[in-house]
Amino acid sequence: MLARSSLRQRYPSLTHSRVTALLQLLVYRGRFFSNVRRHFEYARDPNDEPYLNLAIEARADFIVTRDRDLLDLCRWDTEVGRDFQKRFRFVSILDPVDFLKMFREEA
């Protein structure tokens, strides 16, 4: 994903060396989870449940995705979105562009 030419054109500072450094950091700082508890059931797309539950178990700050089913969990105008946001406020679900913009604005 981070190697896509369209993303690199839009964000020239996203160089090969920076991507490599990020991946090395993730390997160094990452944690392994097994037997993740089912915190959230997602009838709309049960295939997304393992990712949601892993993020919840790990108390992740972000899920970065282009998956519309996951992104819709941030919508307060749906019952399932409100439920997810109320229960798991610590997880923000963002598309890759918004995620990168967030860090660009902080710099």
Strands 92-94 and 62-64: parallel
| pLDDT the model gives residue 2 | 67
Examine the domain organization and report whether 35 and 17 are in the same domain: no
* Whether residue 56 is found in the same domain as residue 6: no
Per the structure block, which two tokens stand in for 10? 């839009």
Cα–Cα distances in angstroms (integers) from residue 8 to residues 5, 12, 81, in the given order: 5, 5, 32
82 and 45 together in one domain: yes
Determine the residue type at 52: L
C-alpha 44/C-alpha 70 separation (Å) is 10
- Residues 9-18: what's their mean pLDDT? 84
**50 and 97 part of one domain:** yes
Note whether 9 and 49 are same-domain residues: no
Q: Which of helix, strand or coil describes residue 80?
A: helix
With cut-offs at 50, 70 and 90, classify the pLDDT of residue 92: very high
Structural domain span for residue 19? 1-30
Confidence of residue 104 (pLDDT cuts 50, 70, 90): confident
- What is the count of structural domains for the chain? 2
- What pLDDT, on a 0 to 100 scale, did the predictor assign at position 27? 87
* Shared-domain flag, residues 79 and 67: yes
Q: Specify whether 49 is located in the same domain as 25.
A: no
Predicted structure pTM score:
0.71
Average pLDDT for residues 20-26, to the nearest whole number? 87
Q: Please check the confidence at residue 103 and state whether its pLDDT lies above 90.
A: no
H-helix or E-strand containing 36?
A: none
Do both 38 and 89 map to the same domain? yes
Yes or no: say if 94 and 67 are a contact pair by the CB < 8 Å rule: no
Residues 63 and 17 in one domain: no
Residues 25 and 36 in one domain: no
Query: In this structure, are 75 and 26 located in the same domain?
Result: no
Residues 63 and 13 in one domain: no
Maximum pairwise Cα distance, the chain: 42
